[in-house]
Amino acid sequence: MTKPATEDVRIGSGAGAVPWVLSGRSAAGLRAQAARLAARLETDSAASVVDEVTEVGRSLVAAGTAHEHRAVVLGRDRADLLLGVRALAEERAAANVVRGRADRRAGAQVRPVFVFPGQGTQWAGMAVGLLDTSPLFAREIRACERALSPYVDWSLEDVLRGVPGTPPLDRVDVVQPVLFSMMVSLARLWHGFGVEPGAAVGHSQGEIAAAHVAGALSLEDAARIVALRSQALTEIRGRGEMLTVLAPNDQVRTMLAAWDGTLSVAAVNGPATMTVSGDLAAMSEFGAALSAAGMMRWRVPGVDFAAHSAHVESLRKTLLDLAAGIGPRPGEVPFYSTVTGRRIDTAELDAEYWYRNLRQTVRFDEAVRALLADGHKVFIECSAQPVLTVGMQDTVEQLGGSAVLMATLRNEDGGTDRFLAALAEAYVNGVAVDWTPAFA
């Protein structure tokens, strides 16, 4: 990925919060820096002006060194920021203060894993805040729209904005290209602030976005796959559904034996998080059995088909044909496959691979184990809301390790303030962040 010019990365004027970035060699040093800044603010009335507040943030970034103990104070004006700085100086909790400690054993440049989930992260208005305030995000969305345009008859930006007359997000041939575009554009936004991925992993359709971000697929090839295969899925709509179950995997597999041939394990997300896929009647019976056993479960939102099951076999020729012309290449970022459960050479991502991606069980838990074994400790979901955190956390705990699991956006919280908070969380956990675009 080539980093865009700062003028393209910047958060637009009036976007909301301003970040003040602080760090110290020790917890006491961090508190002392905050105390000095608070004292300065209390005697400097000029800092009430928005431009001056921004200048303080810029000077902190320009003069500061990213020491081990870190904090970011987020605020829209002097009063917000001063409250946060005081809380930091006095070691009190505050909603607008993100603090943490970088693991120096990991080195100065912590590169996170970019995680791209499958369907189910969508919500109405999920990108409007960033579209209106981030030129880079808006530019990337429009690039995705151009790449999708040969295959769809609707406007990506209009769908995101909910313009009357646009198709709804509950259509698989709409929601999958929209989510692909969302994930790719969020990854580009992270990259625009200097956050370089150390690896990429995708869940189901999320592998298409992961492959593009890893450098394996051009945007045009990735858009072709996601658009045409989501249209192919309309042929099996109404015949099946998918259900996520929170229970030990062995227990769920034992129960599934009664529906062998009609239900399949669609995805294994962690030691106690599994998605089941299959026929409607069998799924109804299975749901009743789960209810009787007191097991937590829910339908995958907006899914009325059975991906990762035998239903997909009827689409094999169509899926192979639509991906036949793509040109996969060796990636720039390590790619961990949830088809194989391990790191692979992205030159292998041919048409047959993309069929297997939709037909076989998603081995997300195995891919996460492989990532952890290779030393990755920070994971960022590049999506409209996090849906894989529970499974990843269970996997980490089962292995007796530790990791930082982060969201980019959250449900009903998808603007620039939320993105800056995510940047802050990454920074205080040791990820290298270029803060200068926040003050452009």
The tens digit of pLDDT for each residue in 293-331 reads 999 999 988 799 999 999 999 999 999 999 998 989 999
> Is the domain 113-236+309-409 a CATH 3.40.50.300 member?
no
Q: Provide the b/e sequence for 327-340 (b: ≥16 CB within 10 Å).
A: ebeebebbbbbbbb
β-strands 69-75, 97-101: how paired? antiparallel
Domain ranges of the chain: 6-101, 113-236+309-409
> Which residues have CB under 8 Å from 257's CB, separation 6+?
none
User: Residue 85 is inside which H or E element, if any?
Assistant: helix 78-89
pLDDT in tens, 51-61: 678 889 999 99
Find tokens 């209810």 and name the residue.
291
Q: Are 230 and 172 in contact (CB under 8 A)?
A: yes
**Cα separation, 193 vs 210, whole angstroms:** 19
Say what the pLDDT of residue 9 is.
46
pLDDT digits (tens, 9 = 90+) for 15-30: 478 999 999 999 999 9
Q: How many CB atoms lie within 10 A of CB 249?
A: 17
**Of the candidates 216, 278, 214, 221, the residue with the CA atom closest to the CA atom of residue 245:** 278
CA distance 339 to 358: 9
Tracing tokens 């808006």 back to the chain, one arrives at: 138
- d(C-alpha 353, C-alpha 337), whole Å: 10
State the pTM of this model: 0.94
* Interval 77-109: pLDDT, tens: 888 999 999 999 999 999 999 999 998 665 557
**Architecture of the domain delimited by 6-101:** 2-Layer Sandwich (3.30)
Span 211-270, pLDDT tens digits: 999 999 999 999 999 999 999 999 999 999 999 999 999 999 999 999 999 999 999 999
